[in-house]
Amino acid sequence: MRSSARPFAALVAALTLTAGLFAAGAPASARANDATTTAQASDVSLAADTYDWKNVRIDGGGFVPGIVFNRSEKNLAFARTDIGGAYRWDQAGKRWTPLLDWVDWDHWGWTGVVSLASDSVDPDNVYAAVGTYTNDWDPTNGAVLRSSDRGASWKASTLPFKLGGNMPGRGMGERLAVDPNKNSVLYLGAPSGKGLWRSTDSGATWSEVTAFPNPGDYAQDPTDTSGYGNDNQGIVWVTFDERTGSAGSATQDVYVGVADKDNTVYRSTDGGTTWSRIAGQPTGYLAHKGVLDSENGYLYLTLSDTGGPYDGGKGQIWRYTTATGEWKDVSPVAEADTYYGFSGLTVDRQHPGTVMATAYSSWWPDTQIFRSTDSGATWTQAWDYGSYPNRTDRFTQDVSSVPWLTWGASPAPPETTPKLGWMTEALEIDPFDSDRMMYGTGATIYGTENLTKWDSGSQFKITPMVKGLEETAVNDLASPPSGAPLLSALGDIGGFRHTDLDAVPDMMFTSPNLTSTTSIDFAETSPNTVVRVGSADAAPHIGFSTDNGSDWFQGSEPSGVTGGGTVAAAADGSGFVWSPEGTGVYRTTGYGSSWSASTGIPDGATVESDRKNPKKFYGYKAGTFYLSTDGGATFTAKASSGLPAEGNVRFKAVPGTEGDIWLAGGSTEGAYGLWHSTDSGATFTKLTGVEQADSVGFGKAAAGASYQTLFVTAKIGGVRGVFRSTDAGATWTRINDDAHQWGWIGASITGDPRVYGRVYVSTNGRGIMYGDSSDSDGGGTDPGTDPGTDPGTDPGNPPGDAACSVTYKVTNEWPGGFQADVTLTNTGSAELDGWKLAWTFPDGQRVGQMWNATPTQDGAKVTAASVSWNGRVAPGASAGFGFTGTLTGGNAAPDAFSLGDEVCATG
């Protein structure tokens, strides 16, 4: 729900924020009043659990507004996304490594990255300014995250205002910058009229630069009352002239871009003490970027009449000579001939007279990229018109590694497929390699490794450089019992049929092309029959498949449909029930050739089908559950007592069992949790101990289990996470860990009916995650914990007759430190009900952070005690935990482990 932003309390001048650390296993909790309190934080240590987590490969799918190369170390680069976190480039694998998967449910807004900064003095340091919305859609304030190990772990400084990684103007920047001479000094440009901020202790504390005269005044839509379009976009970039400082001394000349069309560039010549508007600057535009060529003494600006990233109808490029104060319009085309704004901007650091820029808002027929090798005096462009409408391209484009980037389109010239892109606000030439350039688009990162062919008149090659960067918002997931293991409903790019989870599909769903798919379902006993619904520019909003999602055909739709809503397929594929946006609930007994209105169910209800009886369909809205026994023709209100009337509610029926339904959802203001019905929704029982739940799904039963495996995204035992139960919810095991949280994951979850333990988890910006259990067959009953167990309770000693084995593995090591994973297996005949595993370090190592267990250490002796979700370990089952440690000498593994008096086998 979105409501108007509340006025933010006036800030105290020069308010200083002190950051703490993020504890592994206890991420910082949200605060309602961070403006006047000290942030609580702790180190976040990355670790693997007993589950192996990967992305289902799509390769891209979302907007990449920023790419940052380190200026002092080759091949060190970072990328930021608007809702999906930050990434570091891995040159060896030519792929991106995610850096913010540890962001937890309560801080989901920190997955929106408004700016990145890489320290050229010490390349181990990297900073991220995070926060998704500046209005009340995002419940938490923004923060500056800082890492001294290239993003492997982070500390956070919470700010007294919000940041907008997914707000208008998010492609401008970078708002966050490190002084290239004195790297303890950083600047941050704030939105919402909060001004310019500075840190002098490497990002640990921040205070407002009260001398800065202009907090900006531009808003995309001043008439918007939601706090989104009417928010002041503020201070949008900071650039240093490194020539005006020396190693260890602060840079004196600092340039700042402001979202103010009359006053868009300011400068300090005394290290930020005083500031003034630069005289003679262009007006009537916003400077999206400001990049300084210090070799030649030129500051370049790319300008647009709006803040982007979607809009922009006019633009210019200007050059400022820092030595003389001369301004010069160096635009590659006349202003009158632009129908777009300029944004992407980069200088070749090997050949500083070479400058490149993008026409970021040229949607049709394509984006445009411009290049100058004489400091903007003359330009060439990536494509020109030959004999209209035909184009002459300076490039070739190969998307065979990500073939869906063609969108399955067949456009007429001058459009092409694939396109160079759109929303191209990030553009960077590798500072160490004039041939490598990367740029971000609304769907991917493109790049080239032979860019200088542009200048010789031959064609350079553009390919996706996006492997590992997964940025899609996932709305729904389905895993049929046969055919493709996964079908997905995604925002912006529709969805995919994955026959191989580790391979990029050839194409998203087409015929119809839905911009965002909101719901997908298959017929449980006839899984070749699939239906999907979603958003579209025009009808139809629904598609059908009879070959498991390989091929699709369009269906008709009832009048009044404006959006996808939810859809359900009868168990045998004989009919469908659809609850679209804009009108009521409808049913069809064919493939959408005609529709009949359902009765007895309110507009906007969520609909699902029974997975055994093809005549049964279910609905839910505002605390009331509805049942149809005639194929969706009529519905009857059933249970309502105690069910959540507010918040997001999702429910599913268990495959193969008629009338067996699980319902998750609610809100903190009312009922919230997980409910179960075995009588088609006539009655529901709330599961005690499941404090909150948001999505529920089913997978293959464990060996010897009589019930399908349950998966939920939930809060159990005071812990938020992904949980599994193999005994119909009697006990639960947390299967993710604090290094794998992915922000908000409440939209959808499903197990795989063919692979025990495999689970697919939706994220809002990190794509589809899938996890595989190290326990390949389940080992019988799931080793869970009583949902009501207090996580702080001492788990006690295990039974004396327990037998055990331990695997200890060092997974990473660096000077002075290491990381290790430990797996404890119950090889005895009795269940462990709480455990304490003890060992002695042979080289005096010290435990630092530990996850999935609680450590105590006395000298070289260490004990790791179970936590709430892994204390009970059935015979044959395992519990895993990990830790980081420090060392001063060797790092030999412990030679013995014990549970109470029982010595464990090792291997």
Burial readout 634-661 (b: 16 or more C-beta within 10 A, e: otherwise): ebeebbeeebbbbbebbbbbbbeeebbb
Rounded to 5°, angle at Cα 43 from 37 and 44 = 115
pLDDT of residue 776: 62
DSSP 688-725: TTEEEEEEEEEEPPPTT-SSPEEEEEEEETTEEEEEEE
Which is nearest to 873 in space by CA: 811, 820, 802?
A: 802
Q: Provide mean pLDDT across the span 424-432.
A: 98
- Map tokens 């982070």 to a residue: 154
User: 775: which DSSP letter?
Assistant: S
pLDDT band at 900, cuts 50/70/90? confident
Which is nearest to 345 in space by CA: 295, 289, 307?
A: 289
Which is nearest to 502 in space by CA: 528, 550, 465, 468?
A: 468
Which is nearest to 211 in space by CA: 254, 177, 178, 172?
A: 254
Query: Which of 13-22, 203-212, 884-893 has the weakest average pLDDT?
Result: 13-22
User: 1: which DSSP letter?
Assistant: -
Q: What is the pLDDT of residues 655-705, one digit of tens each?
A: 999 999 999 999 999 999 999 999 999 999 999 989 999 999 999 999 999
- Per the prediction, the chain carries an average pLDDT of 90
pLDDT > 90? residue 20? no
User: 456: which DSSP letter?
Assistant: H
Q: What is the pLDDT of residues 774-831, one digit of tens each?
A: 876 654 333 333 333 332 323 233 333 448 999 998 877 767 778 788 989 999 888 8
> Is the previous residue joined to 418 through a cis bond, with omega within 30 degrees of 0?
yes
pLDDT of residue 11: 24
Q: What is the pLDDT of residues 391-420, one digit of tens each?
A: 999 999 999 999 999 999 999 999 999 999
Record the tokens describing residue 255, joined without a space: 């340039």
The whole-angstrom separation of Cα 671 and Cα 639 is 14
Record the tokens describing residue 663, joined without a space: 């319902």
pLDDT > 80? residue 27? no
User: 34: which DSSP letter?
Assistant: G
pLDDT > 70? residue 25? no
Element spanning 454, H or E: helix 453-456
Length of the chain: 907
CA distances to 126, 360, 416, 573, 609 from 461, rounded to whole Å, are 31, 20, 16, 47, 49
pLDDT of residue 881: 87
- For CA atoms 381, 386, 389, 390, the dihedral sign is negative
The whole-angstrom separation of Cα 646 and Cα 672 is 9
Q: What percent of the chain has pLDDT over 90?
A: 83
pLDDT band at 41, cuts 50/70/90? very low
DSSP 202-243: TTSS-EE-TT--------S-TT--SSSTTS---EEEEEE-GG
DSSP lists the bridge partners of residue 90 as: 95
pLDDT of residue 778: 56
pLDDT of residue 19: 29
pLDDT of residue 14: 28
DSSP lists the bridge partners of residue 649 as: 665
pLDDT > 60? residue 214? yes
pLDDT of residue 505: 98
- Map tokens 């500046």 to a residue: 134
pLDDT of residue 464: 98
pLDDT of residue 801: 42
Record the tokens describing residue 619, joined without a space: 């609905």
Q: What is the pLDDT of residues 604-643, one digit of tens each?
A: 999 999 999 999 999 999 999 999 999 999 999 998 889 9
Q: Provide mean pLDDT across the span 71-81.
A: 98
The whole-angstrom separation of Cα 351 and Cα 616 is 69
The whole-angstrom separation of Cα 111 and Cα 255 is 28
Q: What is the pLDDT of residues 753-785, one digit of tens each?
A: 999 999 999 999 999 999 999 876 654 333 333
CB 873 within 8 A of CB 879: yes
746 contacts: CB under 8 Å, gap ≥ 6:
648, 694, 695, 713, 762
Record the tokens describing residue 178, joined without a space: 């490190």
Instruction: Give the residue numbers annotated as catalytic, written as ranges.
Output: 82, 492
The whole-angstrom separation of Cα 508 and Cα 405 is 9
pLDDT of residue 820: 86
CB 159 within 8 A of CB 109: no
CB 83 within 8 A of CB 90: no
The whole-angstrom separation of Cα 134 and Cα 163 is 5
pLDDT of residue 99: 98
DSSP 63-109: ---EEEE-SSSTT-EEEE-SSS-EEEEETTTTEEEE--TT--GGGGG
Which is nearest to 375 in space by CA: 477, 253, 293?
A: 293
pLDDT of residue 359: 98
The whole-angstrom separation of Cα 591 and Cα 531 is 9
pLDDT of residue 533: 98
The whole-angstrom separation of Cα 410 and Cα 61 is 20
- Please give the backbone phi and psi of residue 575, each rounded to the nearest 5 degrees, phi first: -165, 175
Helices and strands in the chain: count of H runs, count of E runs:
1, 69
The whole-angstrom separation of Cα 44 and Cα 884 is 11
pLDDT > 60? residue 368? yes
Element spanning 86, H or E: strand 86-90
pLDDT band at 869, cuts 50/70/90? low
The whole-angstrom separation of Cα 738 and Cα 733 is 14
CB 830 within 8 A of CB 801: yes
Q: Provide mean pLDDT across the span 496-521.
A: 97
The whole-angstrom separation of Cα 630 and Cα 610 is 12
Q: What is the pLDDT of residues 448-460, one digit of tens each?
A: 999 999 999 999 9
The whole-angstrom separation of Cα 165 and Cα 220 is 15
Q: What percent of the chain has pLDDT over 70?
A: 91
CB 895 within 8 A of CB 842: yes
Tell me how crowded residue 411 is: count the other CB atoms within 10 A of its CB: 14
- In this structure, the strands spanning 759-762 and 768-773 are antiparallel
SS3 469: coil
CB 740 within 8 A of CB 101: yes
Record the tokens describing residue 316, joined without a space: 């210019």
SS3 404: helix
- Please give the backbone phi and psi of residue 395, each rounded to the nearest 5 degrees, phi first: -135, 160
pLDDT of residue 880: 86
CB 199 within 8 A of CB 339: no
pLDDT > 80? residue 38? no
The whole-angstrom separation of Cα 169 and Cα 260 is 12
Q: What is the pLDDT of residues 135-194, one digit of tens each?
A: 999 999 999 999 999 999 999 999 999 999 999 999 999 999 999 999 999 999 999 999
pLDDT of residue 483: 98
Edge-first strand order for the sheet with 427-429 is 395-397, 460-464, 445-448, 437-440, 427-429
Q: Provide mean pLDDT across the span 123-129.
A: 98
Record the tokens describing residue 612, joined without a space: 């055994």
pLDDT > 90? residue 6? no
